[in-house]
Amino acid sequence: MGEVIRKGSAAGDVLADVATTLRNARAKGGVWESAAEEKLAVVEKLGALVASRLKEADAVLQPLRAALDAEDDRADDLLGGVSDDIWNKVGRPGADPVLSIIFPGGVAYYADGRDEEQPERMELLSEFLDAGLHPKLDRKVAAAHAKTVRESAEAYRKRAEATRKPAARVKLLSAMHVSVARYAQTELANLKRRYKSEGFSEADIHAVIPDRPRAKPAAAPEPADPVTP
């Protein structure tokens, strides 16, 4: 027995099966065509619209995402360099209570986490450095580091803000694409039931609706022969 594409399949695969089914049904005409038009014509148009908008939105997002990733790498490298330089200038201590306050958990506190939050954490670091908290760190050195961190945070913030709306658009359209595909899969299954009610054979039905047989489970391995001592 043939199988309609399964729920949870990739949205693009489901919508491709819709397009193939409509093309095959239109070629056969009659009930084949009218039933397919009734079940699939609207979902095909909706899927094509969402897929087109998603492709356009992703094309806008990708260069912005790449620029943000590059800015993130630059910021992380800067933070690592600042941390190392400060540690060297205060005598490379094995443990330092003031450094543990300025860098709680190390530089990762400022370098890791969500993109939209990192500039704010970096701004906080620049404030701590400007405050001249460490008695062994020259104020001019601290102020210079504060300035570079603040400038990096601002550049990071601009990249993150430029990415925010396009990323939200892609996220929404991706969810819509999946929802359309779920609807389409249901309508393909409904169309098969309609064809069966018309008395069409499985072979004829799956000459119109692509057959997606389930993968057979892997055979259990043969037990190993016992080792004879």
Q: For residue 214, what pLDDT band results from cuts at 50, 70 and 90?
A: confident
Q: Is 201 exposed, middle or buried (0-12, 13-18, 19+ CB in 10 A)?
A: exposed
| Nearest residue to 182 via CA among 9, 58, 19 | 9
Over residues 128-146, the pLDDT tens digits come to 999 999 999 999 999 999 9
Report the length, in residues, of the chain.
Answer: 229
What percent of the chain has a predicted confidence (pLDDT) above 70? Answer: 93
* pLDDT for residue 86 is more than 80: yes
In this prediction, residue 192 carries a pLDDT of: 97
Domain ranges of the chain: 11-208
In this prediction, residue 199 carries a pLDDT of: 96
Q: Mean of the pLDDT values across residues 124-129? A: 96
- DSSP string covering 185-215, please? HHHHHHHHHHHHHTT--HHHHHHHSPP-PPP
* pLDDT for residue 108 is more than 70: yes
Over residues 32-46, the pLDDT tens digits come to 999 999 999 999 999
- Residue 210: φ, ψ to 5°: -55, 135
Mean pLDDT estimate for the chain = 93
- Predicted model pTM: 0.80
Q: Mean of the pLDDT values across residues 63-88? A: 97
Q: For residue 220, what pLDDT band results from cuts at 50, 70 and 90?
A: low
In this prediction, residue 113 carries a pLDDT of: 83
CA distance to 5, 11, 196, 202, 208, per residue, from 215 (Å): 12, 19, 24, 19, 21
In this prediction, residue 168 carries a pLDDT of: 97
Q: What's the count of helices (H) and strands (E) in the chain, helices before strands?
A: 7, 0
In this prediction, residue 2 carries a pLDDT of: 87
Residue with structure tokens 């998603």?
54
Give the integer Cα–Cα distance in Å for 189 and 185: 6
